[in-house]
Structure 1
Amino acid sequence: MPFDLPTLNRMPVAEFVATAGPLYEHSPWIAERAAVARPFASVEALHAELVAVIAAASVEEQVGLIAAHPDLAGKLAVSGQLTAESTAEQKTARLDRLSPADFARITALNDAYRARFGFPFVICVRDHTQAGIFEAFEKRVASERAVEIETALAQIARIGWHRLQALVSAA
């Protein structure tokens, strides 16, 4: 259900957190910390504050945020246990309809990436084609951990932006 920005600005903190918390996978602490900066003049200002909260978080909190994301086309997707937001996002890149060969490929990439970095590969699937996701996955699995934390957080910011656009109406 879309909300207008003035309504979000007026909500009690607990309601704001319940409403904006799902913007970031299993991480309502981001909305909770951003709530104190209300009222927001624009959706862009709200998003900037959410991103600033993530940037100001400890490395442990940032890695926890990354780790809260599911593997792409992984066990949670196969068993139907993704959040509604992640399910819809993965469908946009047809990750729910991979060929057996592509499913095996993404499973191997998920496993290699998680083994190397200790957290899942995160990409804003709404910004990429299926081929682009595979290309980025194969490139990033060879990256350095600090670079991947930074890249994953940038991708999470994009995911949050798309989710915020769906949450806030133009009114």
Structure 2
Amino acid sequence: MTDRDAFVARLGGVFEHSPWVAERAYDRAAATGLTAGTVHSALCQAFRTALPREKMQVLRAHPDLAGKLAIAGKLTADSTAEQASAGLDRLTPEEHERFTALNDTYTKKFGFPFIIAVKGLTKGQILASFQSRIDNSPEEEFETACAQVEKIARLRLQSMIPGDENA
């Protein structure tokens, strides 16, 4: 296994189900040193320079919040932990119904699931953000979702590469 293969195997899931981001970031990350900050910068550069359709694939790879995959236990380990940290695995029936309705409306409007870095947020904060962002334009929401994907990647990297909390 090459260093590139090991890098992609370890970090290929940082951008949800999108190992191509790590593949494209490897040379830049290896040249600058493998800290959470430098790896995040390299991954984000690879993501930002991707074609719009490639970015859309990354957005569409994310699961719905508190959606069917979560209920069926089919989220990635990272997504499961992130959603549980915000209490999304312990919704009341009414809260679950609200999330389901918002997920459906949002996905129909934008063509990808609602994405937010949930770590450190409460259910109420997530719902408030969901409700405010649903009124964004498609262009504005695409940019917001991409920024959230990058934030999720940073948080994941901080847990994977200790000692670089300011990534």
Is the 2:86–2:120 Cα contact (8 Å) retained in structure 1? no
- In 2, the alpha carbon distance for the partners of 1:77 and 1:61 equals 25
Write the deviation string for residues 73-94 of structure 1: whole angstroms up to 9, x where unpaired.
0000000000000000000100
Q: Tell me, yes or no, if structure 1 residue 13 matches structure 2 residue 4.
A: yes
User: TM-score, normalization: structure 2?
Assistant: 0.93
Q: Structure 1, unaligned stretches of length 5 or more? A: 1-10
The alpha-carbon deviation at position 19 of structure 1 amounts to 0.3
- Report the counterpart of residue 102 of structure 1 in structure 2: 95
- In 2, the alpha carbon distance for the partners of 1:122 and 1:73 equals 12
Match 1:138 to one of 131, 134, 139: 131
- In 2, the alpha carbon distance for the partners of 1:32 and 1:44 equals 17
Root-mean-square deviation over aligned CA pairs: 1.3
Match 1:40 to one of 32, 39, 47: 32
- Report the counterpart of residue 85 of structure 1 in structure 2: 78
User: How many aligned positions are there?
Assistant: 161
Match 2:147 to one of 129, 151, 154: 154
- In 2, the alpha carbon distance for the partners of 1:82 and 1:57 equals 25
Code of the aligned partner of 2:15: Y
The list of structure 1 runs, each at least 4 consecutive aligned residues, that deviate by more than 6 angstroms after superposition, is none
Identity %: 43
- Report the counterpart of residue 26 of structure 1 in structure 2: 17
Using CA pairs below 8 Å that are at least 6 residues apart, which structure has the higher relative contact order?
Answer: 1
User: TM-score, normalization: structure 1?
Assistant: 0.91
Going from structure 1 to structure 2, the CA distance change for 1:127 and 1:62 (only over 3 Å counts) comes to farther
